[in-house]
Amino acid sequence: MSLKLLVTLSENDVAPRFDLTTEVLIASFREDGSVDRTRTVVLAHASAEDLCQLILTEGIDVVVCGGIEQEYFDYLAWKKVRLLDSVMGPWERALECFREEGLKPGTILIDRSERTSHD
């Protein structure tokens, strides 16, 4: 059985808010953990309810997102979807970290050296 992962997107990063997401990446994994295929889906508008419906319709096993309201977290968990929330950083790093089995809720994937100072 292959695994399907959905990452909420905001340009090149994991979207900071589930309810404001208008674009997602869906990745399918093979049994050996390698990525079978990826595709991007653009939503008509930001809607947590529509995003939950997409997750269930697509048969998503794992969702990677930033902040998510408890109501939607609980609903998806009840539907047996694994949630990795409060993830920050580039979605490509999140995908790679997940593939290597190192992605957990609250993971920050931003290197300090990449940030700019606003002092």
For residue 28, the SS3 value is strand
Of residues 115 and 102, the one with the higher pLDDT is 102
Compute the mean pLDDT over every residue in the chain, rounded to the nearest whole number: 91
The reported pLDDT for the residue numbered 112 is 64
Taken in order 98, 66, 53, 80, is the CA torsion positive or negative?
positive
Which structural domains are found in the chain, ordered by start?
Answer: 3-112 (3.30.420.130)
Percentage of the chain with pLDDT > 70?
92
Task: Count Cα neighbours of 15 within 13 Å in the Cβ-side half-sphere.
Answer: 21
Scanning the structure block, which residue is given the tokens 């953990």?
A: 33
Does residue 10 carry a pLDDT above 90? yes
Task: Count Cα neighbours of 22 within 13 Å in the Cβ-side half-sphere.
Answer: 4
For residue 54, the SS3 value is helix
Does residue 117 carry a pLDDT above 50? no
The reported pLDDT for the residue numbered 15 is 97
Of residues 115 and 44, the one with the higher pLDDT is 44
The reported pLDDT for the residue numbered 28 is 94
- Helix 70-78 crosses helix 48-57 at what angle (to 10 degrees)? 20
The reported pLDDT for the residue numbered 39 is 95
Q: What is the pLDDT of residues 40-96, one digit of tens each?
A: 999 999 999 999 999 999 999 999 999 999 999 999 999 999 999 999 999 999 999
